[in-house]
Amino acid sequence: MSSAPAVAVVDAQTPGNVGTIARAMKNFGFSELLLVDPPELDREGEAYGYAGQAREDILPNATEIEFDDLVNEYHTVGLTATTNKNATKHVRYPFSTPDALAEELRTIDAPTCLVFGREDNGLKNEELARLDEVCSIPASEDYPVLNLGQAATITLYEFRELALSSTQLPDVERDRASEAEIERLYSQFDELLAGIGHPDEKRAKSGRMFRRLIGRAHPTDRETVTLLGIFRRAAEELTQDVD
């Protein structure tokens, strides 16, 4: 069973929201806070003022990280209020609710990170396209947008069993491949698309579809190596045919 997910905040605009998220993490047993392009976190300012007891450990131990490293090192779950309603668009679809995704992640043995975006417009499409899964909190269609602190608090509450009761949960695991190996699979798939002459304007969309599919499947080492071999062999055959 996986340990508690890390929590990442991308380009937060106000220190107070970082402190609020740190406090929610403390409430529900989370400890690893990652910050991409964070605001200045003054120990005498809003972040530490809003953090409660999280000012003692979570906030001062937060790690700054590049978005590229976040994608490469973790199985990433992007949190968004705006979703696509069907499978014709793949940046924000398919998506899970926090409670359903928490149940799924109980069986996944992989470093996982919940990724939150900016206060005003959340995660950009180009950022979501690089994340493995999408999660959204069900809310009224009349006003589905929650503020950043609310969204983090609700999500972390739903994931609390991964952090608070991890030693009491059933020991059910999947032998999931490493993030580095899965990223290699995405790259090999992209090479295959190029090799078969897949239209340039469709390659990014096809790549996102494949990433979402693999993100939900959580392939094992053996499955990943097998797919890599198939894609590599196919690319080699295509090259020989051209020659």
Counted domains in the chain = 2
Task: Specify whether 237 is located in the same domain as 161.
Answer: no
Which is more confidently placed, 209 or 91?
A: 209
Task: Specify whether 41 is located in the same domain as 92.
Answer: yes
Q: What is the pTM of this model?
A: 0.71
| Angstrom distance (rounded) from CA 193 to CA 165 | 44
Q: How far is CA 10 from CA 19, 38, 71, 115, 127, in A?
A: 14, 7, 12, 7, 10
Q: Residue 117 carries which side chain, given as an amino acid letter?
A: G
Q: How far apart are the first and last CA of the chain?
A: 48
Mean pLDDT, the chain, rounded, equals: 86
Asked if the structure places residue 1 within a domain, the reply is no
Task: Specify whether 61 is located in the same domain as 111.
Answer: yes
Task: Specify whether 209 is located in the same domain as 162.
Answer: no
Report percent pLDDT > 90 for the chain. 54
Report percent pLDDT > 70 for the chain. 88
Task: Specify whether 122 is located in the same domain as 213.
Answer: no
Task: Specify whether 120 is located in the same domain as 189.
Answer: no
Task: Specify whether 225 is located in the same domain as 125.
Answer: no
Asked if the structure places residue 173 within a domain, the reply is no
Q: What does the H/E/C string look like for 16-40?
A: HHHHHHHHHHHHHCCCCEEEECCCC
Task: Specify whether 32 is located in the same domain as 148.
Answer: yes
Looking at residue 76, which CATH number applies to its domain? 3.40.1280.10
Task: Specify whether 202 is located in the same domain as 157.
Answer: no
Phi first, then psi, for residue 7 (nearest 5°) are -125, 125
Task: Please give the helix or strand (H or E) that residue 112 lies within, else none.
Answer: strand 112-116
At 96 the pLDDT is 81
Q: How far is CA 99 from CA 108, 150, 158, 162, 206, in A?
A: 15, 16, 5, 11, 28
At 167 the pLDDT is 45
- Domain termination residue (choose one: 124, 142, 168): 168
Asked if the structure places residue 174 within a domain, the reply is no
- Domain termination residue (choose one: 140, 168, 196): 168
- Domain termination residue (choose one: 138, 168, 198): 168
Asked if the structure places residue 226 within a domain, the reply is yes
At 142 the pLDDT is 85
Task: Specify whether 52 is located in the same domain as 85.
Answer: yes
Task: Specify whether 102 is located in the same domain as 184.
Answer: no
Please compute Rg for the chain using Cα positions: 19
pLDDT digits (tens, 9 = 90+) for 159-168: 998 888 644 4
Task: Specify whether 220 is located in the same domain as 195.
Answer: yes
Phi first, then psi, for residue 133 (nearest 5°) are -140, 160
pLDDT digits (tens, 9 = 90+) for 82-108: 554 655 555 555 678 888 888 888 877
Task: Please give the helix or strand (H or E) that residue 133 lies within, else none.
Answer: strand 133-135
Please give the residue range of the domain that contains residue 16.
6-168
Asked if the structure places residue 101 within a domain, the reply is yes
